[in-house]
Structure 1
Amino acid sequence: MSLQFTLPDGSERTVTVRYALNAGYAGRDTLQVQHHVDELAELGVPAPSRIPTLYPLSASLVGRPEMVQVPHARTSGEAEWALVVGEDDLLLTVACDHTDRALEVHGVAWSKQSAPDLLGDVAWPLGEIEHELDQFTLKAWVRHGDTETLIQDGTLAQLLPPSYWIKELGDRLVPGTVLLSGTIPMIAGVDQFADGWRVELADPRNVVSRIVYNVEQLAPAWD
């Protein structure tokens, strides 16, 4: 899969995706991360053996579909950043990790493999914005019918920075690798099982990278 990104200066960059990695439990606040692990455990989601953790995925899951087709009503997205490794540099864009929540209780890695990782339209050269990443805002909205509701609202200061993963992964970040960051908390009381998602990453100058997609539930299997 080759994806084209628009840079803030108006130029365009095309990257062919070869490998995909999803980080998990990757918040900077370790107490908050542990609280999240405990909450998920109460729902039957197995705890990771290592925090933060990393899930290698099929590169075919990375894309930019306008429609995500799912097998049932219990799937949802997650607002994230993505590091995209080009031939000569590193790009940062917005991402949404759509996940099967019903399958998650049987294995997080399996749930990650069941739905796509969506990437945004705009990407920033990492070297140009690394000093101000904590000021980037990350937001997500869910749509139910004609009503859109904010479900995630934070900044990149809540997540481990790209520099952490660059140091940890080293030579694994070959050209064509896409790394998703893990997500920020959802707003309590908002229904995540939605008809559509919108996710935005914005820099301090209000340059925005955006993802918008609908969710379609497929007909049941002929069991």
Structure 2
Amino acid sequence: MRSLVVYVVGSGLRAVDVKWVFNAGYAGCNSEEVRHHIEELAALGVPAPKTFPTLYPLGSHVVSQEHLYQAPHDKTSGEAEWALYIGNNENEHLLMAACDHTDRALEAHGVAWSKQSAPDFIGDLAWRYSEVKNSFSDFTLKAWVKDNQEEQLIQDGNAGLLISPSEWLKKLEEAGLARPGTLLMSGTIPMKKSVNQFSHHWRVELADHKGNISRVSYEIERLADAWE
């Protein structure tokens, strides 16, 4: 179990315990966009899924609010997402920014393995889903990467490009997996092909239209090579 601390809009700081994690994949509402993402990953050697959306159950140890990831090699990168935390009742479900950091080299051998090998970074601010349910599709979702002190926008879209939290709640309930303490990662939106995803800094923002922003920001440190 992992504990997170978030500032809930209109309520203040709150600590939540994460017991189960699910990473969604290929979860775009637009089939063209989904195919685009599949092509992005295929270019990195990742095999296409048999069905989509996909869902990967993970250990809660992957959840992080740290600001550093120590990577074993240069082929790891993030993905801008939102995260849904399932509380004890409908009014306790929370939404926040997230970044699914993934080992792209390992992903070519097994997506589920790669999801377990790197952190799911979670934002610092959250909204009660019951309070933003009708406007959440218009929330902006963006990501930036940085190399040599120059930051570049690599993902730019909105939450409406992805399967909604309501749909995911229904899917999880039907599967008997919508338990309090569950954290669902949404899957991601397309990346700009002209921007290098293998950068040393990732930043993600999920924002409403009232000035509230949930942020994720972290550095990637390349570890020394193993002595083999």
> TM class, shorter-chain normalised?
over 0.9
Give unmatched runs, 5+ long, in structure 1.
none
- Give me the whole-angstrom Cα distance separating, in 1, the residues matched to 2:116 and 2:149: 30
Tell me the residue number matched to 2:200: 195
1:169-208, aligned counterparts within 5 Å? 169-170=172-173, 171-208=176-213
Tell me the residue number matched to 1:166: 169
2:155 aligned to 152, 155, 159, which one? 152
Task: Give the TM-score normalised by structure 2.
Answer: 0.94
1:36-185, aligned counterparts within 5 Å? 36-88=37-89, 89-170=92-173, 171-185=176-190
1:4 is displaced (CA, Å) by 1.1
What is the percent sequence identity of the aligned residues? Answer: 53
Tell me the residue number matched to 2:32: 31
1:37 is displaced (CA, Å) by 2.2
SS at match of 1:194: coil
- Give me the whole-angstrom Cα distance separating, in 1, the residues matched to 2:104 and 2:86: 29
- Give me the whole-angstrom Cα distance separating, in 2, the residues matched to 1:128 and 1:31: 31
- Give me the whole-angstrom Cα distance separating, in 1, the residues matched to 2:36 and 2:221: 32
- Give me the whole-angstrom Cα distance separating, in 1, the residues matched to 2:23 and 2:97: 13
Cα distance change, pair 42–202 in 1 and its aligned pair in 2 (3 A): closer
Moved over 6 A (4+): none
Give the alignment's Cα RMSD to 1 decimal.
Answer: 1.2
Give unmatched runs, 5+ long, in structure 2.
none
- Give me the whole-angstrom Cα distance separating, in 1, the residues matched to 2:122 and 2:183: 9
- Give me the whole-angstrom Cα distance separating, in 1, the residues matched to 2:78 and 2:63: 14
SS at match of 1:172: coil
Query: CA offsets per residue over residues 152-191 of structure 1, 9 Å max, x none?
Result: 1100111010011111110312111110000000112101
Q: Is the 8 A contact 2:33 2:190 kept in 1?
A: no
2:221 aligned to 213, 216, 219, which one? 216
Amino acid at match of 1:96: C
Task: Give the TM-score normalised by structure 1.
Answer: 0.96
